[in-house]
């Protein structure tokens, strides 16, 4: 497991971000090819996702616990990154919102440095995708 922390500031209010996160038509990422909610109990969902990763397409099962509007936690239950856990915390700053992402990450067959570099690259990509999508949301 590799601990990774990252943060950034979205050009959107926390209310706008939370509405965007809950809109599957708008909230899309290149690396997440498909998602299907398998089960939902309260604020916790079990999701099957097809992802595009360093070794090609893979399927994962996630457990996601939402804590509106302050963030969410995601744990990978099955797949190449099984055991990875991350927490996204949103901090309101008026018309902007800081996001802080922390977690322990694992990827089968990868070194600690590959995991750290890949995770930070993924975070940068999804942050840029989200920030761009929020402008038109």
The helix/strand/coil state of 97 is: strand
pLDDT tens profile 89-126: 999 999 999 999 999 999 989 999 999 999 999 999 99
- 52-56, long-range: CB within 8 Å, 24+ apart, which pairs? 53/80, 53/107, 54/107, 54/110, 54/118, 55/80, 55/109
User: Considering the domain boundaries, does residue 85 fall inside one?
Assistant: yes
User: Considering the domain boundaries, does residue 43 fall inside one?
Assistant: no
pLDDT value for 11 = 96
How far is it, in rounded angstroms, from Cα 49 to Cα 121?
19
Give the predicted TM-score (pTM) of the model.
0.92
pLDDT value for 13 = 97
Count of domains in the chain? 1
Kindly report the CATH number assigned to the domain that includes residue 107: 3.30.530.20
User: Considering the domain boundaries, does residue 44 fall inside one?
Assistant: no
Residue 24: domain span:
2-30+68-136
Residue 72, pLDDT above cutoff 90: yes
Q: By CB neighbour count within 10 A (0-12 exposed, 13-18 middle, 19+ buried), where does 111 fall? A: exposed
Do the bridges between strand 44-53 and strand 32-41 make them parallel or antiparallel, or are there none, so unpaired? antiparallel
Q: How many CA atoms lie within 13 A of 84 on its CB side?
A: 23
């Amino acid at each position: 497991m590799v601990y990774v922390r990252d943060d950034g500031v979205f050009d959107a209010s926390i209310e706008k971000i939370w509405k965007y996160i809950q809109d599957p038509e708008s909230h899309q990422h290149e690396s997440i090819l498909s998602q299907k909610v398998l089960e939902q109990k309260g604020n916790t969902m079990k999701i099957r996702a097809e992802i595009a990763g360093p070794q090609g397409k893979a399927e994962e099962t996630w457990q996601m616990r939402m804590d509106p509007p302050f963030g969410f936690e995601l744990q990978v239950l099955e797949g190449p990154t099984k055991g990875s856990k991350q927490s996204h915390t949103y901090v309101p700053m008026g018309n902007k919102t800081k996001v802080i992402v922390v977690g322990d990450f694992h990827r089968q067959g990868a070194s600690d440095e590959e995991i750290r570099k890949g995770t930070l690259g993924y975070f940068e990509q999804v942050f840029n995708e989200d920030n761009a999508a929020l402008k038109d949301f």
